[in-house]
Structure 1
Amino acid sequence: MTIADAADAPAAFTVMTPRFSRADITALLRERYGIEGDVWPLASERDLTMGVEASDGRRFVLKIANSAEDPAVVRFQNAAFLHIAHVAPTLPVSRVVETLEEESEFAAFADGREHMVRLLTYLPGDVLANVERTATQVTAIGRLLGELSLALSTFSHPVPGDEILWDMQRAAKLLPLAGSISSPDLRRQVEAILDRFAAEIAPRQASLERQIVHNDFNPSNLLVAADEPGRIVGILDFGDMLEGPRIFDVAVACAYHVPAEGPPLGLAARLLLACHAVHPLAEDEIPLLFDLIATRHAMTIAISEWRAQRHPENAAYVLRNHANAARAIERFAALRREEAVAELEKACRLRA
């Protein structure tokens, strides 16, 4: 697939989010799960996600998939939740709630379109993106990413065939979207990063260590304890999960920890060390991280500006990481690649 214009992008990113009324949702909960209660909307990029508080005090998350989403994607995610519950029950991941008919998911209709619906247990906590970041938190994030990737390393399941726009393996295909970037200077930087990925990293992808990965381990998808912000108590949103190089997954997580001041790679190196200690990475892949982190930032700029232009009503949400990504690209441009690679290798004790 070549993402040259809107028609070429994955359909789940171009079709409107599901339109179910509050009455529709409460009826689904009552008829399918025997649950009466209140519901409220939660932020979501392409699906309809609702918080649920049952009359008995239990809390859940109802997820209604975009009509363009392959039902196999929902089954894939549910299978991952079930696997994690079996092999790593202490990981703070939602559990699948079955319907009265013991279904893990089912189809519902709105505006003549079919949507896959499922209910998950609710994870309490504060969204990490909304609290002040600390070095202790970043270490905890790295450790938790290592634990999750270790659990998923034994997960085997047919992977849906639909392409994911946020799949770094296809980053070079986002070059046409860079034309949507409003700043000429930023556009040139993004194009240069994506060109480097295509020339230097894409040819190596087949030889990299692979497994099923979360692919979106960012602060908006992590919860911390309200009374102990250094403790991570929830991992959210497995919607971008895929099979791919594990080093790419680590790069995604590191990308969200480039500070506005101080050493640009200091926090990323801390996260890397903690992750590597739990689930070691292939040592010859670690030098790729600097360019991979930059690639994630370039993807964020290209995708978010393109989507904001197509869906201005959702621009605030899709552009939420744009400023940080643009700043990170500027900070990375001031670094020497050799020194940056050496810093990341030192984090894993690969250099003195």
Structure 2
Amino acid sequence: MVATSQPPLGTPPSAPDDEAIDLPGAAVLNAPPAPFALAQAQALLRQHYGLEAQFSPLSGERDANFLVTPHEGPRAMLKISHPLESPLVADFQTQALRHLAHSDPSLPVQRLLPTRDGADAVLLPCAGGQTRVMRLFSYLEGLPMPQAPRSAAQRASVAQALARLDRALSGLQHPASRLALPWDIQYAHRARGLLRHVPDPARRALAERALDAFESQALPRLASLRRQAIHNDFNIYNLLVDPAAPERLSGILDLGDMVHAPLVDDLAVAASYQIEVEGDPLGTMAEFCAAYHAVLPLQSAELQALPALVRARLAMVVAISGWRAARQPDNAPYLLRNNPISWARLQALDGLDPARASAVLHQACGLAPL
């Protein structure tokens, strides 16, 4: 997350040129990784946490992450933030974890492990006057969801876990929660200019129709919807399941995209990764909503906005990843890994009738449509 000014929600999209992208926090998306020497990380762990451990690097898009295996005790994860990330943003994640530990202690999220002095984090000065934040977290065991078989029971488990998380995050306040993010669906229309990097005219038009639906069906409603701190990236790559029972969610990762936004945006992000392109995609969305609604009841206005928000999120995925891949061709396969299924889901939802979608979602949740 990076700090940027936020325009009013109704501001129409501008037409950015190829270098001046009108997307909140766009610069951080193209920032190269900032590696950290393993030996130096080990020394810092020893100094600040009093731990001797084996280290191995973990994947991370920008931060430096290490799996820590102490000589005694459970495994942990050492995270050293990217120099471009403000310590204020890192503290938002820290305070969220502290908040969750009190509001719903049984949620399967990481726990902060304090330093020898009882601190939540260590600030590491680096070149250029920037600061990196070092924190130690508990390590969540489990099978990454992309490696597990998918099922209706698993989708229900995901929806219920998200509802619990959102309920637990309610009431969390932090100065960083209102910073603008590139992945904030509230500003999906500002990704329209990035679609120039989609070479296929038919696909480009498909994504543009999704953004048209967002602007006409969701954007005018957003200001009136209930808002709070949300996870904002509840995708399958941030979820773990029990290897022996893959329908059961066992871990929730990565609070790095948290933002203060309409509550239903969190559901839209999660649902966009659960849509079945074969059969009845709207039915899949309805089942997902019903499972969420059973834990945290949804409001009628939220259900009316949801389908357009889901399509907007999918359009953002193909727009932002295509733009990034055009600037980072060596990393294009990784950046575009979600594009084929996102295009398929956009196609499956193309032409969705808003009235029918609203009726199906309301019926699934046992609500009377407006």
Q: TM-score by structure 2 length?
A: 0.89
- Give 3-state SS (helix, strand or coil) of 1:265's partner: helix
1:125 to 126, 135, 142: 142
Aligned length: 352
1:17-166 equivalence runs, <5 A: 17-109=33-125, 113-160=130-177, 162-166=179-183
What's the % identity of the aligned pairs?
38
Q: Displacement of 1:351 after TM fit?
A: 5.2
The 1:316–1:50 alpha-carbon spacing in structure 2 relative to 1, beyond 3 Å, is: farther
> 1:254 Cα shift?
0.5
Amino acid of the structure 2 residue aligned with 1:73: V
What CA distance in whole angstroms lies between the structure 1 residues aligned with 2:349 and 2:327? 29
Counterpart in the other structure of 1:15: 31
Q: Aligned pair 1:291/2:313, yes or no?
A: no
Report the CA distance shift for 1:21/1:313 in structure 2 as closer, same or farther (over 3 A). farther
**1:331 Cα shift?**
0.8
Aligned equivalent of 1:204: 221
Deviations 1:35-67 (A, max 9, x none): 222222323223222222112142111222121
Q: What is the CA distance between 1:111 and its match in structure 2? A: 5.4
Give, in whole Å, the separation in 1 of the partners of 2:19 and 2:288: 36
TM-score, structure 1 as length reference: 0.94
Secondary structure, aligned partner of 2:254: coil
Q: Which stretch of structure 1 is more off in the superposition, 1-10 or 297-306?
A: 1-10
Query: Letter of the aligned partner of 2:193 in structure 1?
Result: P
Q: Helix, strand or coil: the match of 1:108?
A: strand
Aligned to 1:301, what secondary structure does the other structure show? helix
C-alpha spacing 1:335/1:27, structure 2 compared with 1 (3 Å)? same
Show the counterpart of 2:232.
215
Unmatched tracts of structure 2, length 5 or more:
6-13
Shift of 1:200: 3.4
* Residue 237 of structure 1, aligned match among 254, 267, 285: 254
Which one-letter code corresponds to 1:79 in the other structure? Q
Of stretches 27-36 and 90-99 in structure 1, the one that deviates more from structure 2 is 27-36
Residue 25 to residue 309, structure 1, CA distance change in 2 (3 Å):
farther
Determine helix, strand or coil for the equivalent of 1:77: helix
CA RMSD of aligned residues (A): 2.0
Amino acid at match of 2:321: S
Moved more, 130-139 or 37-46: 37-46
Mapped to 2, the partners of 1:308 and 1:231 lie a distance apart of 34
CA distance in 1, matches of 2:334, 2:45: 27
Q: Give the equivalent residue in structure 2 for 1:317.
A: 334
Q: 1:103 to 1:12 in 2, by over 3 A?
A: farther
Displacement of 1:204 in angstroms is 2.1
> Which 10-residue stretch deviates more, 156-165 or 12-21?
156-165
Q: Secondary structure at the match of 2:83?
A: coil
Distance 1:110 1:84, change over 3 A: same
Q: Which moved more, 1:260-269 or 1:302-311?
A: 260-269
What is the alpha-carbon distance in structure 2 between the residues aligned to residue 251 and residue 282 of structure 1? 14
Query: Secondary structure of the equivalent of 2:257?
Result: coil
Gaps of 5+ in 1: none
**Match of 1:102, SS?**
coil
| Change beyond 3 A, Cα 1:6–1:238 | farther
